[in-house]
Amino acid sequence: MTISALRQRLNAGEFIVAPGVFDMISALSADRMGFPALYMTGYGVSASHLGLPDAGLATYSDMVSRVDTIARGTNTPLIADADTGFGGLLNVDHAVKGYERAGAAAMQIEDQEFPKRCGHTPGRRVVPIEDMCRKIKVAVEARDSRDFLIIARTDARTTLGVDEAIRRGEAFAEAGADILFIESPESEEEMSIICSRLKGTPLLANIVEGGRTPVLPRERLEELGYQISIHPGSAFLAAAAAYKGIYETLKATGATIGSNTPIMPFSDMNTLLGFDKVWAFEQRHPERD
């Protein structure tokens, strides 16, 4: 699928639900569900790839290689987290070119100071609004295609309040951002205010179970005025719970018999990973006569 598919869906007024993906099992599983987009989560990549918190420790190389792997292995447009753009303006230029070349359909950059933090954790500080607007202008200029979308995120709400977050959203739209991401509003009322005051540019809601923002159904998000919802943590939180459950049973009993943790049939995993293609190839081209 071409990267233009995501812009076409937005232009048509479609609401985009994008599940979080962080490795190829999650990406392949979500890709087969028929979602309009996938969201490559920085938290999930940092956790699954490095075993580290989302605290600015994953590098550009870590992230762009995961973009490339996921984009090549799936058919669904990929929205990819790029943290702060990995540095200054030259880094942003380099990151946009790299993410677009790797196959992403959209790239998210944020206005946090480096080192950045997960948007639903404390301790986040933001750069001056002018600095972020320069990053957005560089990002827009750096892309080869207008269909590669630039998502501008502000983390100002937590420390500077809703009004400042909205002011930044307005400035980011003026700088050329295709999608606005006002991170971590803390009530449905705040979400309503954001949507009522930021019109004309698609708005993205970040839905994190256990995070700072209310978990609302798609219908309510649409009513408020959002056009995209990302769900970065749902899959890795479920996966971590499953790991814990199955390992506890194995540790306690030496086997998985009787475990309450659902286990995918081995045959289904083989199908997900494409073993049928391997076996068909080996039938056509046996190693020995």
Q: State which amino acid sits at residue 109.
A: I
Q: What is the DSSP string of 69-101?
A: HHHHH--S-EEEE-TT-SSSHHHHHHHHHHHHH
pLDDT at residue 56, rounded to an integer: 83
pLDDT at residue 288, rounded to an integer: 80
Question: Nearest Cα to 180, choosing from 147, 202, 164?
Answer: 202
Residues contacting residue 245 through CB under 8 Å, at least 6 positions apart: 259, 260, 261
Domain 4-239, CATH among 1.10.3720.10, 3.40.50.1970, 3.40.50.300, 3.20.20.60: 3.20.20.60
Quick check: 201 and 178 in contact, CB under 8 A? yes
Quick check: 45 and 66 in contact, CB under 8 A? yes
pLDDT at residue 2, rounded to an integer: 67
For residue range 243-273, list pLDDT tens digits in order: 999 999 999 999 999 899 999 999 999 999 9
Residues contacting residue 277 through CB under 8 Å, at least 6 positions apart: none
- Mean pLDDT of the 276-281 span: 94
Report which DSSP code applies to 59.
-
For residue range 154-196, list pLDDT tens digits in order: 999 999 999 999 999 999 999 999 999 999 999 999 999 999 9
Domain regions of the chain by residue span: 4-239
CB burial of 216-249 (b: ≥16 within 10 Å; e: otherwise) equals beeeebeebbbbbbbbbbbbbeebeeeeeebeeb
